[in-house]
Structure 1
Amino acid sequence: MPSLLSLCHEILHDILTNVEPADLGKLAQSCQTFNSYIKGNKLLWKDVYLKHYDNPQGELRRDSMIESSTSRSRGNKVEPDWEGELKTLVSVQKVLCCHDEEVKRNSIEPVVTTALSLLETSNPNTDDSLNVKFLSQQLLNPQNSDIFLFSSSLYDQCGSPSQYAAPIPESRQLSAKLHSHYGTALEAKGRTRNSPQQAHPFARSRVYDLRTYNDFNQWGPFTDDGTMTTDWEKVESILIVLGHNLDMLSRRCTGRGFGKVWSDPFGGAVPYSYTPIPRGCPALEKANGTTSGGDSSSAEDSWGVQFIGQPNPALEAQDPYGVTGTWRRVVCFLDYNDLYHFNFASHVLPHESRPPISTQEAIRLITMKLRVTKIVPPSEDDGQALPVVHFTGTSRSMHSSWDPNANSRLRGSVRLTPSGDIRWTTLSVFHGEARWRSESIQVGGLRSGRGVVGTWFDKDFDPNGPAGPTAFWKLSDSLGREADGVDENGLAELPALFA
């Protein structure tokens, strides 16, 4: 009977591809023959990787429109270091599976950085994603979720005794970023709701603290240093507030066409997880890898979108962000008397937190219909890998046709920030004059299904407010009434306020 080491390489390869990733390195250390076969065997490491994780170069992933400055030339795609990547994931899995809390807390940065990298290379269909499945299963462990999801500065004030802020600012930001991508599933299921220190009143306090709105962050979810870097702790607080409010609204709207949002772990929080293809735009279909090309000659614009046989492609075909279509928006706000009293009735020190807010907000659901109007190169202050896309549209309340603050015209833009996030700016226009503005970040990246999260405020940046949280996500590429996703006859029945 032949021994394992005497088998031909093809059979040995098939056997070793069924080995657990953590055991592959151990086998390489067991004897010189295994070491010489396994070490540096790119095909073996690749096949083992692809048995457990999504293919970062897979057919379901869209050709990235954001290319690094070192690999701008088309076709110069560097193959992943399969062995190095898999060894990194094995190290992360060991941390996630261990029971030592100190080891986990000291590993927040490498673990969360790796987790976010997995999300960036996930299958856009998150229901079928091996990466999302792996991360979701690991975060079912309460110790893992407490440490890696709930270690932002917010959890210095709230949460369970095992949830508290990391000592390092970078770790707090990373934890908030992973929590923002994970969604509101744990809050919605009551994991923090049943705690004596619920998260949403403290998050609400942060969102409505007008001191956090300033010129340095453009009144949006950005850091206060003027770099337009996303402040994920702000995004986390906004998502907690909106998630709590939408969860309450969905309970009151059972049977009226409005269900839960953001309730699936990492649902839609990966690039291209919403993949609309406008009908009649073969150029965009080709750019997204959804058609098999013929022998057509091609031209390429400076942002990596290929146009096949179209000398003058439509604006929608040139738009990397997928703006045109129907979107659902949620806007929340405090009664202005409550907002003013919260911010100005008592004096607090500049770095002192305001008390939690238990007062419930008003909530508005809005249907937006947007269309691309202009595409221009990025400015010096923008990320350079993508253009700036301008759009116009309309905004209509789902609660009542006469709502003066929800029914308006819209204009805005989408661009890449210097740090690589997708920034959306909108202006609500009433009778030809802009009134409300919003600044937001797209959670999950380019064309994510999760949507856009940020803040709304007075377009003149009034330090007395009002201001509050907002989010919007795409429903359809269509601009017709059927794209709204809710029975038109039942829109006025949706509650505008809840206690």
Structure 2
Amino acid sequence: MRTTSSGIILTDNNPLFPHLPRSGPTLDSEHSALCMHPPQPSVIFTIPLELVHRILTLGHPDDVAAFSRTCRSAHELVQDEYLWRQIWHAYPFDDPELLRAHRQAVCLATSLEISPLRDGWKAEFTRRIRAEHVALKKREHYSSLSPKEKKTALQVFVSVLEGALPASVGGGMEGKFRDASISQNIQWVQRVLFHSRLIAPVLQSLEDEKEISELQAHIRSCMDEYEWGGKTRRAISDRRNRSRAFVYDLRNYSYKNDYGPYHPDGRVSWVHIENIVNVVLSNLQDLPVHIVSPARPPSGLESLRPYSAPGKYSPRDWAGVEGLLSLFLMDVVSSQQLGTWRRYVCFMDYRDLFAFNYSDIADGPLHPKFFEDPRFREATRLIEVKLHIIPRSEIRFFPPSEIQLSASQKHPLTFFHGTSKGVNGNESTVEGYVRMARDGTVRWRLVSLEFTFLSSTADKQKLSIYDNSPQWSSNGVQIGDVGSARGGVGVWTTKTHEQGDPVGPFWFWKVEDDCSENLVEYT
């Protein structure tokens, strides 16, 4: 007789355990013993089935697996889908039935998170636990994992993040479901991947390893850096400079990738996204001490959830451009309904950008060592953006050939207009659109018309030097789902996209309308 870690009593003298060793020396002696003492049922099978299920759900899934291997009856017992449904909820994970209902209520894809309902509770639970085991491998065992095992585990975690439980929404979607303050699925990913070697950055070269790198970068872009990155000053500096070298490499921008963080086939380049995130967050660490608590984009995996950004949403404003419409105004286009956003923009001096890309300075061109020069400076600006939705007919700076269609009829092209303002008070006109891509990611495209004036003391006149034409173009991706609090990151460059034009990273996110955080300009 033995007891599992869950307190389950298993006996070895039951003929239901034919694979266990027998103690009797001969068949005759065993037969005599059986005649004198008829086999008694194992303790675990003398109690009601419901209680057995309850005992198993209180243990670890490894205990359930061990129990299933003890005998044929135990193996048959753990095939019960009802048992695995109970284990699923006890672990716990989000209820997939509730999750599907919540996502359908706000017109979000559900195919990524209904596999327990499609493939069975046991199959999906086993898939997640296998991924957990891979992620929790110790250093000495991690090297024995195959690329397929790593890739499969990473795909599990990405699918869980992409199918997250929505947060509360309002406007035209208000009242469709209750608030969901915590997602158990998100909490599971956070707990398992905290300091996991599975997402540790490693330079890869083989094709299958490149796919693994994309999945790792996707997850790291969503997590806080302290959860996976090196903590030494040197490790932080090296990571930052490698990301700078990637983001400011002009070879990474062309018409093939739409001058944005994409692959030529249109998929998001999560390696590119991760490097943008690293550059912006690292630059915030350099802000001087007199800037008290500078605004930071929301962090943590909970910020990825649909509709976790401030404001209300409606079918008309599915992306939360304004995010302020009341239930009574959701079908009214009003320039007074302005959504408030914050946007970080980073850039190099153009002379430095040119030297980094084309000179042999610091083992160049394009060597990360270029950024180790103490004289190097990178500018960081925090800008306030106010946006409101407009009809397509009012778009001025996007010819039809430059407007990409939305892949979802429930998430149609949404056009917007507004202003951006820096710390110096100068305003720029902003125009753009948001759409849903085929891969389910939310894509943002905008241009800005910057009015820079020259003053003349002789005639007191001011003259715009850009002649009312857009100068800057930005292309970005929402990190997380629709309306995520984490916002979107991407790349800005010139509207004309001429060879050698400057580029830089940006990060923008939705804030409360009465946001009081000061704007920033620092070099």
For the residue of structure 2 that corresponds to 1:433, the secondary structure is coil
CA distance in 2, matches of 1:6, 1:375: 71
Partner of 2:307: 272
- 2:291 corresponds to which of 246, 253, 256: 253
Q: In structure 2, do the counterparts of structure 1 residues 212 and 269 end up closer, same or farther at CA, with 3 Å as the change threshold?
A: same
Asked whether 1:115 is paired with 2:157, we answer yes
CA distance in 1, matches of 2:227, 2:137: 22
Q: In structure 2, do the counterparts of structure 1 residues 137 and 68 end up closer, same or farther at CA, with 3 Å as the change threshold?
A: closer
Partner of 2:186: 132
Asked whether 1:360 is paired with 2:360, we answer no
Q: After superposing the two structures, state which structure 1 stretch, 5-14 or 365-374, moved more.
A: 5-14
Partner of 1:423: 443
Partner of 1:228: 266
Checking the alignment, whether the CA contact within 8 Å between 2:93 and 2:185 is kept in structure 1 is: yes
For the residue of structure 1 that corresponds to 2:95, the secondary structure is coil
The alpha carbon displacement at 1:275 in A equals 6.2
Asked whether 1:329 is paired with 2:343, we answer yes
CA distance in 1, matches of 2:110, 2:246: 35
Partner of 1:395: 420
For the residue of structure 2 that corresponds to 1:461, the secondary structure is coil
Q: How far does the alpha carbon of each residue in 1:316-337 deviate from its partner, in whole angstroms, 9 at most, with x for none?
A: 89xxxxx962111000001112
How many residues align? The count is 428
Partner of 1:241: 279
Partner of 2:358: 344
Pairwise CA RMSD: 4.0
Asked whether 1:202 is paired with 2:220, we answer no
Question: Sequence identity of aligned pairs in percent?
Answer: 24
Q: How far does the alpha carbon of each residue in 1:290-343 deviate from its partner, in whole angstroms, 9 at most, with x for none?
A: xxxxxxxxxxxxxxxxxxx99x951689xxxxx962111000001112112222
The alpha carbon displacement at 1:54 in A equals 2.4
Checking the alignment, whether the CA contact within 8 Å between 1:53 and 1:131 is kept in structure 2 is: yes
CA distance in 2, matches of 1:183, 1:452: 15
For the residue of structure 1 that corresponds to 2:416, the secondary structure is strand
Q: In structure 2, do the counterparts of structure 1 residues 352 and 210 end up closer, same or farther at CA, with 3 Å as the change threshold?
A: closer
Checking the alignment, whether the CA contact within 8 Å between 2:445 and 2:473 is kept in structure 1 is: yes
For the residue of structure 2 that corresponds to 1:390, the secondary structure is strand
Checking the alignment, whether the CA contact within 8 Å between 1:38 and 1:44 is kept in structure 2 is: yes
CA distance in 2, matches of 1:168, 1:381: 32
For the residue of structure 1 that corresponds to 2:511, the secondary structure is strand
The alpha carbon displacement at 1:180 in A equals 0.8
Q: In structure 2, do the counterparts of structure 1 residues 329 and 98 end up closer, same or farther at CA, with 3 Å as the change threshold?
A: same
Asked whether 1:183 is paired with 2:183, we answer no
TM-score, normalised relative to structure 2: 0.71
- 1:150 corresponds to which of 201, 212, 216: 201
Counterpart of 1:242, as a letter, is: V
Checking the alignment, whether the CA contact within 8 Å between 2:355 and 2:361 is kept in structure 1 is: no
CA distance in 1, matches of 2:112, 2:96: 18
- 1:219 corresponds to which of 253, 259, 263: 259
For the residue of structure 2 that corresponds to 1:464, the secondary structure is coil
The alpha carbon displacement at 1:411 in A equals 0.8
The alpha carbon displacement at 1:353 in A equals 5.8
CA distance in 2, matches of 1:315, 1:103: 60
CA distance in 2, matches of 1:253, 1:247: 11
Q: How far does the alpha carbon of each residue in 1:113-150 deviate from its partner, in whole angstroms, 9 at most, with x for none?
A: 11111212334569833333333333334xx24x4241
CA distance in 1, matches of 2:403, 2:385: 27
Asked whether 1:440 is paired with 2:476, we answer yes
Asked whether 1:89 is paired with 2:128, we answer yes
The alpha carbon displacement at 1:47 in A equals 2.2
Asked whether 1:452 is paired with 2:452, we answer no
Checking the alignment, whether the CA contact within 8 Å between 1:204 and 1:356 is kept in structure 2 is: no
Q: How far does the alpha carbon of each residue in 1:421-446 deviate from its partner, in whole angstroms, 9 at most, with x for none?
A: 11100111235421111000111121
Q: How far does the alpha carbon of each residue in 1:375-431 deviate from its partner, in whole angstroms, 9 at most, with x for none?
A: 79x98864245321111111111x2213xxxx2111111112222211100111235
TM-score, normalised relative to structure 1: 0.74
The alpha carbon displacement at 1:345 in A equals 2.9
Q: In structure 2, do the counterparts of structure 1 residues 251 and 374 end up closer, same or farther at CA, with 3 Å as the change threshold?
A: farther
Partner of 1:8: 48
- 2:508 corresponds to which of 469, 472, 491: 472
Partner of 1:34: 74
The alpha carbon displacement at 1:206 in A equals 1.1
Q: In structure 2, do the counterparts of structure 1 residues 234 and 375 end up closer, same or farther at CA, with 3 Å as the change threshold?
A: same
Checking the alignment, whether the CA contact within 8 Å between 1:330 and 1:366 is kept in structure 2 is: yes
Counterpart of 2:157, as a letter, is: A
Q: In structure 2, do the counterparts of structure 1 residues 69 and 58 end up closer, same or farther at CA, with 3 Å as the change threshold?
A: closer
Checking the alignment, whether the CA contact within 8 Å between 1:440 and 1:453 is kept in structure 2 is: yes
Checking the alignment, whether the CA contact within 8 Å between 1:425 and 1:438 is kept in structure 2 is: yes
Checking the alignment, whether the CA contact within 8 Å between 1:369 and 1:395 is kept in structure 2 is: yes
Q: How far does the alpha carbon of each residue in 1:40-71 deviate from its partner, in whole angstroms, 9 at most, with x for none?
A: x3332122112222233436954352447999
CA distance in 1, matches of 2:316, 2:58: 39
CA distance in 2, matches of 1:183, 1:342: 29
